[in-house]
A and B are shown apart, each in its own frame.
Chain A
Amino acid sequence: MSVGNSLYLVAPEIILSASGLLLLLIGAWGGFKSARLVSILAVTALFASSAVALEFLLNPAFAEGGDAFFGQYRLDKFGSLTKLLIYISAIVSIIIAPRFFDNVAGGRSAVMRPEYPVLIVFAAIGMGMMVSAVDLMTLYIGLELNSLAAYVLASFLRNDERSAEAGLKYFVLGGLASGILLFGMSLLYGFTGTTNFNAINQAFESGLSTGALFGLIFVLAGMAFKISAVPFHMWTPDVYEGAPTPVTTFFATAPKVAALALTMRLAIEAFGSQIAAWQQIIIFIALASIVVGAAGAIGQTNIKRLLAYSSINNVGFILIGLAAANQAGASAMLVYLMIYVAMTLGSFVAVLDLRDADGNQVEEISSLAGLSKSRPGLAAAIAIFMFSLAGIPPLFGFWGKFLVFEAAVQADLILLAALGIAASVIGAFYYLKVIKVMYFDESADVVVKSDSKSHAVIIALCALFVSPLGYLLIPVLGNIADQAAAALFWAL
């Protein structure tokens, strides 16, 4: 494997790194004024990387994929597909940012700084590495790159107490999770003598020593923190609530996709020969996430906190696909992830569009009362997202849940599927509560009209995708997801 070929395979990361460095220079020299230019260029760079990822995904010449840098990084359809999702989320998070930051504190001081798009671009590099990592070291470096950028982004509104608190909480707990992850990785390395996923898998074929089992558990625990699955979810509501809304949009989509993809790759490529060792853990995490996500959301009055619990809940459903530990499950997870990204992006952008007459963000659910009269379009879109997140049949969110449960049933995890379905009924309650407030409560008349075209376009696109029209895309999405899932299972 020549270095030139390796460089070719990591083209999306190279495009992003080069443009990230360049944008940093522009931002450093241009100051606040260059924020707009830097944002536009960052979006362009992300689009370029998406185009490359799409080429890798669709061009039959890359169907086999390939290992880069001596087996530390693998280009395959799984990586390209998840990268595409990550880049799209990053693009949306950049596009929606200027409006939010410029209106913070009633627009008294512009806080949109050129570092915001730059940090998102760097985070995207890290996430790209995460989904393509086939070596524990690549995994860790990608994860750290993403996390460090995320810590800063969470406290980006540094004069806002909640934002600073969110950043600090995320940093401290994230640091702890990284420590747990590293500890597990060092155990894995010690007991298998390698950091390469395939080699770990081969070493596991001859049995799993207690030390390696501990390593596996620690690594999974660290990953569970990153995907905010239940025993390690405590940070999620606080961080999601405190962080600036565009950043929350980013957190709820891109890093989650990356961490889930990484968990899939770890579980299947690295620990695939010892499925029994981690299957119960995943089942427990999945069920606990579904239940805690649903139960925790019920008492929430802040819509960002509600969406945080909703994302915990959804991660639980996605993990059911992993618990199935078969190709159908992986494919179902990928489809679910695509739908999840669309639903989450849509609902957060919709939240971002809620402003009162002074231009302040509206985050209290009670303030949404009467939204169906003042902003019927937005209310309809939020209703669609809520129904879809709840998985109510005519909407596309149902399809993801259906596929996941189908995979679980195929893998003889009927009890898990049954419990999951039962819990999703509890979950439907709080989504419906939001809709009830919007449509049936006495009008509070807080939210005023917004003139943002970009928000409207993004919300409309996401709403269209998760509406029943999305079912038309099933052949395409299913096909791509199947191919990507197959790429994950090549070693088994």
Chain B
Amino acid sequence: MTEFFQSLGMTYEWAWFVATISGILIIVLPLLLSVAMIVYADRKIWAAINLRRGPNVVGPFGLLQSFADGLKVFLQETIIPSAANKGLFLIAPIITFTVALAAWAVIPFSETAVLSNINVGLLYILAISSLGVYGVVISGWASNSKYPFFSSMRAAAQMISYEVSIGFTLITVVLMAGTFNLSDIIMAQKGHIGGIVNAYGLNPLLFPMAVVFLISAMAETARHPFDLTEAESELVAGYQTEYSSMSFALFWLGEYANILLMCALNAILFWGGWLPPIDWAPLYAVPGIIWLLLKIFVFFFIFSWVMATVPRYRYDQLMRLGWKIFLPLSLAWVVIVSGYVMIRDNGWPL
């Protein structure tokens, strides 16, 4: 894109700058739009499973419901509790929102469409997603109120716990693909199963990790059944209790952007990203981004499905699952996969 702007008569520096900014906008604006639509989808799926109708008043089939909600929130008064730590109280939602968007910089949407194709892409995502906890923790502390504080304590412990197993799961994929670059990881999955299926997830060696990653992703985004941080029966609305208006909306946008990111990661790491599911030439006629969006939506459907059907975990159960089951399992799997990779690359050692 830099060349395009240079051809308009800009110097290289300016062209680079404008190209980057427009690249960011090209990702962020559709992302925000899809967040709005995915919230609608979430409520519809949830309602359908509960045998309800869900949003159906605003616009055709209720399609504009999210925009109406957004407008309503936008017009509200911003209330800052008098005992709150003002600066941090306002910064917290911005952190959540920014961090949720920043991770998309390295997500490849098709063979060429990626904002920043860095060779530590996966580490970048891990780093950025580990920042997400700060928005929650700071908001809980800055609200100076009991329920948000409990919620932020829970969030800090929960996200750290599941980051560990996510990290190990990612390592198995990295070992298999031999790279941290997300585009290369996708290309490594091409024809992975018998030259036919483009997915790591169906490899019996990686399938358990795909499952662990899916569940950990739910815990990492504090999604049902792991939404202990905003368990309404115990903590009102958790860390969001004191928030209103746009600052509340930012949390809400950031949360869904994060969920979409995790769905995208599931698709990219284990299910072939923008590759068609089957390595068959005619399927490549469909643009890669369509495949990626389809896969993201399938995972989002799973997220909603789980939300509608599975009851919330208890906190000790959550910790038990993270530390006593996922951590040892994924740790053992790193050893197994690295052993496999060693034998695959160097032959049987004896």
Direct contact of A and B (CB under 8 A): no
A residues contacting B by CB (< 8 A) are: none
B residues contacting A by CB (< 8 A) are: none
